[in-house]
Structure formats: C-alpha cells, structure tokens
Amino acid sequence: AQRVTQPEKLLSVFKGAPVELKCNYSYSGSPELFWYVQYSRQRLQLLLRHISRESIKGFTADLNKGETSFHLKKPFAQEEDSAMYYCALRGSGANSKLTFGKGITLSVRP
C-alpha cells in the first residue's frame, strides 16, 4: 500500500521567513514524489516533482529515501505563496495511481 502523510494542516509565517512543508511517505518500491499547489480560486496544479530536481518559484524538495520524506522548502516566503499544498506519490508501475496527502494551508503574512 502507498501512503502520504502531511502532519500539519496549517503553517503561518511572515513574509521573508523560511518555509518547510513536511511530507512523509510509505511505499515499498521506488516512488515518484510530487508537490501540487492550489491557489485561491484556481485549480490544482503541479508545483514540482522529485525527478526534475529543479527549483520552481523558489521552492525545492529533496527526496530522502532513508527518512522516506519529501519536504518542500523555500528560504524566503512571499505573500503570493499563500495556498494549499499537497504532497503526492505515484508508484513505480506504468498505471500506478496518484495518492495524495491531506494537504497543508500555507499562509504568508505581510
């Protein structure tokens, strides 16, 4: 079975503060990990994926297989980062489903 855990529901920080959104997963094989974001009144969209190893909007996430984690980080939060963030996992099979965590609301205050 595959499972994604986001232990916090809400993170509130001031603009310019560092952000870390936690994500832990459970999967016996080699998973693909993603972060999806939903801004207010917009649809869910992909933010980044671990295989790309890229920084998107200043966010990065490193897959730590030893700790089975995929935390999302940004050194300096901006107000426009305020949104709902979901960590997701897809298994290694071609038709594997996408499993989501419960999501966390990031609120960046001015």
Partner 1 sequence: SAVISQKPSRDICQRGTSLTIQCQVDSQVTMMFWYRQQPGQSLTLIATANQGSEATYESGFVIDKFPISRPNLTFSTLTVSNMSPEDSSIYLCSVRNGIRSTEAFFGQGTRLTVV
- Residues near partner 1 (CB under 8 A) are 4, 32, 34, 42-46, 49, 51, 86, 90, 94-95, 97-103
The nearest distance, CB 18 to partner 1, in angstroms, is: 26
> Which lies closer to partner 1 via its Cβ, residue 21 or residue 99?
99
Residue 37 CB, nearest distance to partner 1 (Å)?
11
Three-state SS string over the chain comes to: CCEEECCCCEEEEECCCCEEECCEEECCCCCEEEEEEECCCCCCEEEEECCCCCCECCEEECCECCCCECCEEECCCCHHHCEEEEEEEECCCCCCCEEECCCEEEEEEC
Nearest-approach distance from CB 39 to partner 1, in angstroms: 12
